[in-house]
Amino acid sequence: MTLRQIAPWIAGMIALIALPFVYRDPYHLHILILILIWSFAYTSWSMMGRFGLVSLGHGGFMGVGAYVTALLWNHLGVSPWLGIPVAMTAAAALALIVGYPCFRFRITGHYFVLVTLALSGIVLQVITATRDYTGGSLGYTPDRTKGSHLLALQFDDKVTWYLIALGVWALGLVIWRWVDASMDRYALEAISEDEDAAAAAGVNVTKEKLKITLISALMTAFAGALYCQYQMFISPDTVSGISVSLQMVFAVIVGGLYMSLGPTIGAIITILLAEILRIGFGTRAVGWDNLVYGVLLVLFIIFLPKGILGSLVERLRTQRKS
């Protein structure tokens, strides 16, 4: 990257870091934090999704990340600083157990989607089944400390959370960039076009796919843990299960799958949409946001499969050429 390319990123980052010191309306900061956390989760999903590995199991990874962290804190008093890595490892192990046979035995396309779909369904079932510990479908709250507490990763002020979420979001973009610049990217692109041809050309298909799946699962679990620490309330419906997985797919498709900022655009659009509906309709909005999501998702896939950002960039490029 040359300086010319990197300069807008740095300027944008500085502006984002400076924002809470200039403007600190708690409600708007709250929305921004949510957008940043979910952007990170959506970015994690598209790590795999952009290479044709469409997973509907990410709700499961997110649930594992959130619940393991919270359970360790409440029952064993393990600090999230330790709990989050443990939770991420658990999600990675889950990804390995499901991913390895899938990739080893060439389970792709529909099959892969259905297997991962079942995975998120099963994580939801486990959370519900262990209701004595997890609170089941009623949700779960990590024990609160008094005020802000670094060891417990609990902060009262929104500015701290904003900066944490911003850092994590930026980390997600850096990982994206890192994958983008690596040899694995070419291998994965070859695999997504033709697995047999890629294997014949000397690409270790199973290994490459597992690698990106593990990165994606680790990041998603991290997003789940972060969401849990920020919201201090998790329920199976908000962090795990099929609807969360589909929500990720939806946001990424709307934003644009193949661009590093696509998932972020998707998060901005979906969260703002949900908030506007919530403010406009109040409690009557229950269900309406998902109804609009669903209709938009279908329309986008039919008419704008590259997403908003992707289509915009494409249009700009063709204009510049002509």
Partner 1 sequence: MMDIFDIYLLEAIVNGILLGGLLALLALGLNLIFGVIDVTWICYAELVMIGMYGMYYMVQYFGLSYFIAAPLTILLVAALGALLHLLVIAPLLSAPPINQLLATGGVLFVLQSFATVAFGIDFRNLGIRLPVLQFADMHFSYARLLAFAAALIGMVLVYLFMKRTYVGTAIRAIAQDRQIMALMGVDTRRIYIITSALGGALAGLASCLLVLQYDIHPFVGLSFGPITFLVCVLGGLGNFVGGFVAAFVFAEIISVGGLFSDLEWGYVLAFAFFIVMMFIRPAGLLARRS
Binding site for partner 1 (CB under 8 A): 52, 54, 56, 97-98, 101-102, 104-107, 109-111, 113-115, 117-122, 124-126, 128-129, 241-243, 246, 249-250, 253, 286-291, 293-298, 301-302, 305
Identify the CA nearest to 83 among candidates 59, 65, 98, 100. Answer: 65
Closer residue to partner 1 (CB): 77 or 101: 101
Closer residue to partner 1 (CB): 42 or 73: 42
Q: Is 154 helix (H, G, I), strand (E, B) or coil?
A: strand
Closer residue to partner 1 (CB): 167 or 305: 305
Tokens standing for residue 186: 């070419």
Q: Is the dihedral of CA 164, 169, 175, 177 positive or negative?
A: negative
Q: How far is the CB of 57 from partner 1 (least distance, A)?
A: 11
Closer residue to partner 1 (CB): 55 or 229: 55
Does residue 45 come out as left (phi exceeding 0), alpha (psi in the -120 to 50 range) or beta? alpha
CB 39 within 8 A of CB 267: yes
Q: How far is the CB of 183 from partner 1 (least distance, A)?
A: 25
Q: How far is the CB of 309 from partner 1 (least distance, A)?
A: 18
Q: How far is CA 113 from CA 19, 59, 100, 303, in A?
A: 40, 13, 15, 22
CB 251 within 8 A of CB 266: yes
CB 248 within 8 A of CB 41: yes
Closer residue to partner 1 (CB): 233 or 288: 288
Q: How far is the CB of 304 from partner 1 (least distance, A)?
A: 11
Q: How far is the CB of 117 from partner 1 (least distance, A)?
A: 6
